[in-house]
Amino acid sequence: MINAIAEIGKYEKTHNPDINSNFDIWLEDSYDEKKYPHLLLIEFENIRDNNTYKWVYNRIDYYQHSTKYKSRILYKAGKGKNAPDITPTSKVTEIEKTFNKKIKKWFQQNENAKFINPNEKEFLREVNAEMEFKADLIIQELQNRVMDFNKGCVLSVAFRENDNQKLLSDYPLFSKFINTISVENFKYSKTSGKYSFAENQLCAICRSKKPEVYGYFSSLKFYNVDKPGMVTGGFDPGKSWKNYPICLDCALDVEMGIKVLDDKLLFNFYGLRYYLIPKTATEKARNEVLRDIYDFKKSPKIKDKDREKISNAEDEVFEILKEEQNNVTFSMLFFDKPQKSVFRILALIEDVLPSRFKELFRIKKILDDPFIFKYEKSKEEKIHFKFDLGIMKNLFPYHYKKQKLVGEYKSYLQCIESIFYDIRIDYQFIIQKTIKSIRTIFINQDRSIDLDEALYFHNSFWKRFEVTQYHLQTIVLTNFMLIIFLNELNLFRSKHKEESMNRQFYDSFEILSKEEFEEKTDLFFDSFREFFSTDIQRSIFLIGVLTQFLLKIQKSPKVRGATPFRSKLKGLKMDGRDIIDLVPEIIEKLEQYNKNYYFSLEKLISKYLLSAGDYRHWNLSVDEMNFIFVLGMSLSEYFEIKSKKVKNEEIKNEQN
């Protein structure tokens, strides 16, 4: 992956007009995307005193900060919160503290630096002495200037000679600090306190013999050679250069590549940040794919309303990746960066081909078409569920109470890796997570609740809400959509995996008469044959359908105005016997209400139950049985006979 980052850096050095030399790569932009629009300069003037010249404090000068000052004030952050930066240029936190800890301290620590000449040392000593002598005055004048600032400020020093103001870049000695310390960071680890470099060795990136190669990568926070087990040559970090020797030129390419990752290759995935790192076989392929990604990042080629996303991120780039040729692969480095100095790798998904992205979108299109995912919430509002990987996230509420849900966090990322890597996912594990999220909704339906942990409904978080049948139906159908998606990818590794869903079932599904009830119901099951492969599953599903018919009747104001039969469902923790026992009780209730219109359904349930055999031999988990059952409840409306005769009979009975 380091080679791929270096290739990105090479491309940027060639195509970015703001990079004029390797030195520019070391520098950081203190303007920081307009976060620091103010620039204050502590100006010292070189004046004649008798027959000698000396440096004296002159004034505080102000500039409106911008990116153009990047190469003038030479900003590069140092190591440590209170340590000086690499040059006397710093971002201001508190003006007095920044002056003392960053600027004044820099001159104190560096006036005798080994790599500068005697004249340069004398220059720094004079400025340091004057800064120490006038410290109180400088602080007071700085405080007066920052009183009206409402945004960030950068503090640096300037020098006036012969009435001309000069900044740090006008003095070679300050550039020496940038170059020398930056190279030193490739040789020396402050963690282990050892040097790691060698002379006249091959560079692992350019494969050429170079005067020096180095072993530490200060900017690659995810590349660590300070821990035992990660170092070639025993446990001696000083020999880490043998792991991955890199020359100065290639190190600069890596440095540039890291900046590009943050600026142009950083994307979001449901609250997780990741770097998208392309790896190509040729320079031409590299240039083409990076140009496509950069163009997308600046201005997405496809309007948001017309895009076929597989995640809900505004900057989702997957759709353009699927159009790339297979001479490129993509790595996704998911990470957490709670602090600037902390970089945690959450997952690294490497070498994903464009054809894999294309396959994900192909199956997404299959799922976006079926009518069962086009839910009519009301006559005025119709919901068309579109598949995205947020449905997977809904099963793993890791965003909240993170310390208690570390397992959820890891499981979610492992599932995402499986999707991109084509690694088997355990079917029962997904069913278990699915029914767990459904039960929370089911047991709280029709009342207002306050959830203690995160709960998701198709990319939406609800902290306090009225749970309705719509919420239940939403989470059931989207979870069913996820199961179909994983199955179509063959991630469950089903022994009887056949063709995709029956396409004649996509547009509509109606049962117009009792004579076609069994035929149409079998069509439904055949369309999802992987999920309804046995008569056990079919019978459980249809019992769920019949149960929802009863609950709908009970809830009618003219019947009960409530659904007491829900208590019979045991919070969706029923076993096979519980489910079978529901059938006679439901029929009895329907007869009591004089509303048993469902003889065709009851007959088909009996047929499947006879074929299913003794419930004690059903080879289904309780979780799977209850998911199939509640799926039947959620899709019950499609199993109502739509003939005019039946509708008129229902209206007549309602009036009676």
Domain match, 417 and 523 both: no
Q: Tell me: pLDDT of 19 over 90.
A: no
Domain boundary among 361, 388, 418: 361
CA angle 631, 637, 639 (to 5 degrees): 85
CA distance 252 to 607: 73
CA distance 361 to 37: 43
Residue 184, in any domain of the structure: no
581 is a domain residue = yes
| Same-domain status, 537 and 632 | yes
- pLDDT of 426 over the 60 cut: yes
Using alpha carbons, list the distances in angstroms from residue 238 to 7, 189, 209, 219, 619: 27, 9, 20, 18, 59
pLDDT band at 164 (very low <50, low <70, confident <90, very high): very high
Whole-model pTM: value is: 0.76
Q: Collapsing DSSP states into helix, strand and coil, what is residue 461? A: strand
351: left (phi over 0), alpha (psi -120 to 50) or beta: left
Residues 248 and 325 reside in one and the same domain: no
- 111 shares a domain with 44: yes
Tell me if 566 is assigned to some domain.
yes
Quick check: is 387 in a domain?
Answer: yes
Each residue of 607-652: pLDDT tens digit? Answer: 999 999 999 999 999 999 999 999 999 999 889 987 644 454 544 4
Q: What is the pLDDT of residue 29?
A: 92
- The answer to whether the CB of 178 falls within 8 A of the CB of 27 is yes
In-domain check, residue 31 = no
Query: What pLDDT, on a 0 to 100 scale, did the predictor assign at position 231?
Result: 43
Answer whether residue 330 is part of any domain.
yes
CA angle 93, 97, 99 (to 5 degrees): 95
Q: In the predicted model, what is the mean pLDDT of residues 6-10? A: 92
Block residue for tokens 């005798």: 112
Which domain does 161 fall in, by range? Answer: 38-179
Q: Are residues 147 and 212 in the same domain?
A: no
- E strands in 162-255: 164-166, 188-189, 194-195, 197-202, 209-214
**Domain match, 609 and 654 both:** yes
Average pLDDT of span 378-407: 65
Of 200-204, 371-375, 477-481, 567-571, which gets the smallest average pLDDT?
371-375
**If pLDDT is split at 50, 70 and 90, which confidence band does 542 have?**
very high
C-alpha distances in Å from residue 511, one per residue of 508, 522, 636, 639, 651: 10, 12, 12, 7, 18
- Does residue 327 sit in the same domain as residue 441? no
DSSP per-residue string spanning 245-298: -B-HHHHHHHHHHHHHHHHHSEEEETTEEEEEEEEESSHHHHHHHHHHHHHHHH
Angstrom CA distances, 551 to 239, 586, 634, stand at: 72, 9, 12
**Same-domain check for residues 217 and 282:** no
* 546 and 642, same domain (yes or no): yes
Bridge partner list, 189: 194
Is pLDDT above 90 for 298? no
Of the candidates 443, 470, 344, the one whose C-alpha atom is nearest the C-alpha of residue 402 is: 344
Last residue of a domain, one of 253, 280, 308: 253
Same domain, 656 and 520: yes
Out of 497, 517, 532, pick the residue that ends a domain.
497
Residue 506 pLDDT > 60: no
Q: Is residue 601 part of a domain?
A: yes
Which of helix, strand or coil describes residue 212? strand
> Does one domain contain both 590 and 606?
yes
Number of domains in the chain: 5
User: Helices 469-488 & 427-443, crossing angle to 10 degrees?
Assistant: 170
Same-domain status, 274 and 351: yes
User: In this structure, is residue 48 part of a structural domain?
Assistant: yes
pLDDT in tens, 30-78: 999 899 999 999 999 999 887 788 999 999 999 999 999 999 999 999 8
199 vs 222, which has greater pLDDT? Answer: 199
